[in-house]
């Protein structure tokens, strides 16, 4: 079994698209999310993003990398909308909605509503929150913009949002707070265009030095304080 190795100068010399696919594959599996936003004319926008990452739990913060805004080229609708309105949604992509979600990554004109173009359904589960969620998505998050951090190194921008609300099916929430996103049907991304279902190998107990970690039971960590979910349950007609 032979091994290939690419050095920085090898990488610089590769054909452009080959290099893009290679380098996009290297970070490992990624999240698959649709970002929902509203432009200044009230047109809804959807964009597929694979760079959403956890940033902190208290306050609850999520970050994502946005590609550079290039002078003289079409603006990146999502980041402009987030700047203008201060709010957006992050919606997990499931296998069932994948063809439509992938279609949202096409380069539509700014005045096109990607919901209409892809057949996905805008949804507003939180009154007064102006950005559209995706009804077909199994886990939807509403966020308010906290900060946009430009990365001088290549012109990408890191958008940091604070969670205003989050909703998903109750059966996926385990007793200790873990959300079983595999059970929700959320998928993973590889490279620029690979999409994957997952199979749980296990949850592992908190690692202690010189002790083998154990697999957790399906209900989560034992002896955690039980949270009464009735206070967070939505009425059926709104789900």
C-beta of 80 vs 148, nearer to a copy of itself: 148
Estimate to the nearest angstrom the gap between the alpha carbon of 231 and the chain centroid. 26
Smallest separation (angstroms) from a copy of itself to the CB of 206 = 7
| Strand pairing report for 33-38 and 87-92 | antiparallel
Smallest separation (angstroms) from a copy of itself to the CB of 132 = 16
Nearest to 88 by CA among 75, 98, 79, 97: 79
Using left for φ > 0, alpha for ψ between -120 and 50, and beta otherwise, residue 225 falls in beta
C-beta of 43 vs 164, nearer to a copy of itself: 164
Smallest separation (angstroms) from a copy of itself to the CB of 81 = 19
Identify the burial level of 82 via C-beta atoms within 10 angstroms of its C-beta, where 0-12 means exposed, 13-18 middle and 19 or more buried. Answer: buried
Query: 102: which DSSP letter?
Result: H
Are 36 and 48 in contact, with CB atoms under 8 Å apart? no
CA distance 167 to 170: 9
Smallest separation (angstroms) from a copy of itself to the CB of 113 = 12
Smallest separation (angstroms) from a copy of itself to the CB of 42 = 21
C-beta of 21 vs 69, nearer to a copy of itself: 21
Cβ-based neighbours of 40, under 8 Å, separated by 6 or more: 81, 84
C-beta of 41 vs 210, nearer to a copy of itself: 210
C-beta of 121 vs 190, nearer to a copy of itself: 190
């Amino acid at each position: 079994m032979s091994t290939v190795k690419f050095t920085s100068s090898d990488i610089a010399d590769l054909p452009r698209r080959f290099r893009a696919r290679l380098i996009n594959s290297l970070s490992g599996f990624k999240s698959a999310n649709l970002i929902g936003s509203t432009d200044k004319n009230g047109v809804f926008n959807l964009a597929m993003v694979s760079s959403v990452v956890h940033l902190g739990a208290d306050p609850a913060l999520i970050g994502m990398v946005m590609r550079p805004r290039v002078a003289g080229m079409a603006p990146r609708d999502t980041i402009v909308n987030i700047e203008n309105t201060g709010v957006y949604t992050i919606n997990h992509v499931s296998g069932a909605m994948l063809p439509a979600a992938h279609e949202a990554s096409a380069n539509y004109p700014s005045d096109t509503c990607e919901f209409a173009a892809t057949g996905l359904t805008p949804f507003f589960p939180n009154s007064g929150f102006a950005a559209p969620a995706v009804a077909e998505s199994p886990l939807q998050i509403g966020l308010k913009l906290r900060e946009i951090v430009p990365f001088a190194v290549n012109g990408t921008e890191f958008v940091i949002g604070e969670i205003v609300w989050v909703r998903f099916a109750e059966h996926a929430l385990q007793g200790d707070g873990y959300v079983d996103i595999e059970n929700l049907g959320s998928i993973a991304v590889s490279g620029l265009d690979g999409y994957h279902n997952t199979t749980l190998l296990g949850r592992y107990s908190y690692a202690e030095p010189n002790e083998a970690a154990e697999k957790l039971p399906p209900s989560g960590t034992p002896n955690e304080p039980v949270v009464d979910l009735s206070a967070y349950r939505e009425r059926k007609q709104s789900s």
